[in-house]
Amino acid sequence: MYNVLLMPLSPGNRLGPYEITAPIGAGGMGEVYRARDSKLNRDVAIKVLPADLANDAQYMARFEREAQILAALNHPNIATVYGIEQGALVMELVEGADLRGPLPLEEAIPIARQIAEGLEAAHERNIIHRDLKPANIKLTPAGVVKILDFGLAKAAGEFSAATPGASPTLSPTLSLAMTQAGTILGTAAYMSPEQARGKPVDKRADIWAFGVVLFELLAGRQVFGGGETVTDIIAAVVTREPDWNALPANTPAYLRRLIERCLRKDPKLRLRDIGEARILIDEPAPAPSAAVTAAPAPRRPWPWIGAAAVFALAALVLALLYFGRPAEEPHAIKLHILAPEKSNFTTDCPAVSPDGRRVAFTAVTDGKLQLWVRDLDSLAARSLPGTEGASYPFWSPDSRSIAFFAAGHLKKIDAAGGPALALCETTLLHGGTWSQNGVIVFGRGYGLFRVPAAGGTAIPVTTLDQEAGESRHAFPWFLPDGHRFLYLAVNTDREKLAIWVADLNSKERRRVMPAASNAVYSPPGFLLFTRERTLMAQPFDASTAQTTGDAVPVAEPLDDFFISSGSSSPSRFSVSRNGVLVYNSGIAGAARQLT
């Protein structure tokens, strides 16, 4: 039994070798003072209990338990416990600033890493904090993060917040939705949904709080704050999704992904271990889960790509990967596809089929340029006879046929093989797109034309605005309704390059956004385009043809000949309806590897 010291204390009071010099603050489990250790000649922090609770045996038991838990932790990112003196907890004095956002990425990322490292050390000893929040995290002048106040900490397997009969006075916050079924411990805006319901918690509650803190560091505001009452905040925690648009536009995709995984309301779907967060912060680029590799062969000069070049195909379900909580964990698969034996890829963009099962590309074998098709569940590609000289392939909506340009004509061929059929004459090729309504829109000369997928006479569908400096319309892409399409309007003034939307049923067109590349639509609602050789994904409402949020990076670097050379070749990427993304990467104008 301790000789309990009663509060308040004043400067000059002594506790054994410790002399009180100033008050620091008060928390739910006591008051904290600055003191001087006369034996070791150092400043310390001393926490003592409120006078009205110092004789509460249950409260004192929890206080002693806190000391034992903290004393077991020895980590540079956790405030150290030195011991107990007359019922007071003697701790490392941490001087520094409270965490406040928004912080620039170069500051927020190292802080997040250190928080993760401190929590990882605690979790490895089966210790859960349960009240992680910015007020319990200090940043020293040297930039070292210190996690404070494990007053809510519990060892895994000990009594939980939902233990029947647990006293509400044991809660450091004292005011949070206490019920007969269980006492809720924690600060409302940082509690996990299961914690807010008063259910037993484990380390995944700390992972949730880590995600909330990281969001706040970047966005400068609480994820679930703003409610007038604690009940409002708890209701938001349990029912509301975060406003992902509140994160800065330059937030890397891997950080958005990390926060999203931390903030899944179902703990079974949440990030499993805080160590994973540390790894994701340190190693943001995911390793391929499957790959086909081969020894590199000698590279050949431009315009052909060496035989060691590969396509990178990443199964990226964009809506789930970056912005929303999926029903189940999406599986990212990256496949490296080598050029066929004794062949070289061309500079054309490979085209993935709408069903995501096959990819079409052009390659040169013994000087003969042909169209090739590879099933993504196969290691071998096959050439399509009759497609000599093919360029700019694109698929039919049912994934059964491939359209391409060759010998001055727009043609199509069955993906399984067979004769190639000429649809119409064309020159100066600038890509094509095939609608579900049996219409093909393609670039010819300096504008866009339409032709029935069965063949016929091509008629213009866009007119250049030469007074505005437009020099070419290129690289169309149909939206899901089958009559509106996106396209790139090339301009003599590079600052006026833009993506436009037009309608086959009218002569109306509208500018969508500035862009120096082609753009494609990816269900359930993203626009893909390149920006300075980085593939970007921007939320997009196909019904209104308007962007609805900020763009985030998806992959880099991409081959982007439009940007690098000023020509009107498209950026090298393609996407299927179910989110399989195909892109070329490398350095334009040189021997390159596509990754």
> Which residues form the catalytic set?
131
Q: How many other CB atoms are there within 10 angstroms of residue 295's CB atom?
A: 5
Rounded Cα distance, 550 and 246, in Å: 10
Rounded Cα distance, 25 and 281, in Å: 33
Q: Is 295 helix (H, G, I), strand (E, B) or coil?
A: coil
Judged on CB neighbours under 10 Å (0-12, 13-18, 19+), 567 is exposed
CB 573 within 8 A of CB 349: yes
Which of 293, 400, 360, 353 lies closest to 578, judged by CA? 353
Length of the chain in terms of residues written: 595
Which of 511, 510, 509, 443 lies closest to 474, judged by CA? 443
Which of 314, 312, 280, 250 lies closest to 553, judged by CA? 250
CA 494 to chain centre: 31
Q: Is the dihedral of CA 13, 17, 21, 27 positive or negative?
A: negative
Rounded Cα distance, 587 and 594, in Å: 9
Rounded Cα distance, 109 and 144, in Å: 13
Rounded Cα distance, 586 and 317, in Å: 23
Cα separations in angstroms, 230 against 226, 233, 430: 10, 5, 58
Rounded Cα distance, 49 and 59, in Å: 9
DSSP 54: T
Q: Is 414 helix (H, G, I), strand (E, B) or coil?
A: strand
CB 281 within 8 A of CB 109: yes
Rounded Cα distance, 63 and 39, in Å: 25
Helices of type H across 312-446: 318
Give helix 203-219 / helix 274-282 axis angle, nearest 10°: 40
Residue 404 phi/psi, 5-degree rounding, is -160, 170
Q: Is 145 helix (H, G, I), strand (E, B) or coil?
A: strand
- DSSP secondary structure, 467-488, as one string: GGTEEEEEEEEE-TTSSEEEEE
Rounded Cα distance, 94 and 511, in Å: 55
- DSSP secondary structure, 19-48, as one string: EEEEEEEEETTEEEEEEEETTTTEEEEEEE
Give helix 274-282 / helix 253-262 axis angle, nearest 10°: 180
CB 358 within 8 A of CB 352: yes
Rounded Cα distance, 562 and 87, in Å: 72
Q: Cis link prior to 296 (omega < 30° from 0)?
A: no
